[in-house]
Structure 1
Amino acid sequence: MGMLQVKNVPPELHSALAARAKTQGLSMSDYVIRLLSQDLSRPTVEEWVAARQESAPVKGIDAVRLIDEVRVEFDIPSGSESVVTAVSDVAVDRSRRR
């Protein structure tokens, strides 16, 4: 098994890790391995973007019209970033109804 040594860990970070490991009933080593494992199980932004680019586009949905409808339905101002979440939810709902 490989070995990893982390130097220059700030005392407050070390204390926080030790406290969390203790509450989980784990050694600090096991707790940090769990954290690293969880982090590496998630795709990087680059991997996520690449996967989205490889997936087929959703057919039969006019994105501009959908965004406008969601803005009206949820009273979201034009240019607001929160429309992304709302549009995603509506698109998923509509695709399930088909």
Structure 2
Amino acid sequence: MSNLQVRDVPEDVHRVLKARAAASGRSLSEYVLEIIQREAERPTLDELLDRVRVRGSVDLGDAAQKILRAERDAA
């Protein structure tokens, strides 16, 4: 495992994180590690857009408006 040190954390942010960690029964390190892990598991917007580009376009067929108009005209 690697170590990570965060410097210059504003006092109010530190106070909130420490209180939330205590309320959840965890140390500040455990609490912040969970936040970091959760963030690392979620793709960024750029990563999501790259995935979409790789998959290519999809033909969704006729627009709903066109289908409804055809149904109404047939009735």
Q: If the TM-score is normalised by the length of the shorter chain, which range does it land in?
A: 0.7 to 0.9
Gaps of 5+ in 2: 66-75
Structure 2 counterpart of 1:29: 29
TM-score by structure 1 length?
0.59
Question: Counterparts of 1:10 and 1:55 in 2: how far apart (Å)?
Answer: 42
Structure 1 counterpart of 2:6: 6
TM alignment of 1:58-73, pairs within 5 A = 58-62=58-62, 65-66=63-64, 69=65
TM-score by structure 2 length?
0.74
Question: Counterparts of 1:60 and 1:28 in 2: how far apart (Å)?
Answer: 48
Q: Could you say if the C-alpha distance between residues 32 and 58 of structure 1 is closer, same or farther in structure 2, counting changes exceeding 3 Å?
A: same
In the alignment, structure 1 residue 39 sits paired with structure 2 residue 39? yes
Task: Extract structure 1 runs of 4+ deviating beyond 2 A.
Answer: 56-62
Residue-by-residue CA offset, 1:4-33 (whole Å, 9 max, x unaligned): 111111010001100111121110001110
Gaps of 5+ in 1: 70-98
**Seq. identity, %:** 34
Structural RMSD (CA): 1.6
Shift of the alpha carbon at 1:57? 2.7
Q: Kindly name which structure, 1 or 2, has the bigger radius of gyration based on alpha carbons.
A: 2
Shift of the alpha carbon at 1:56? 4.0
> Which amino acid counterpart does residue 8 of structure 2 have in structure 1?
N
Secondary structure, aligned partner of 2:5: coil
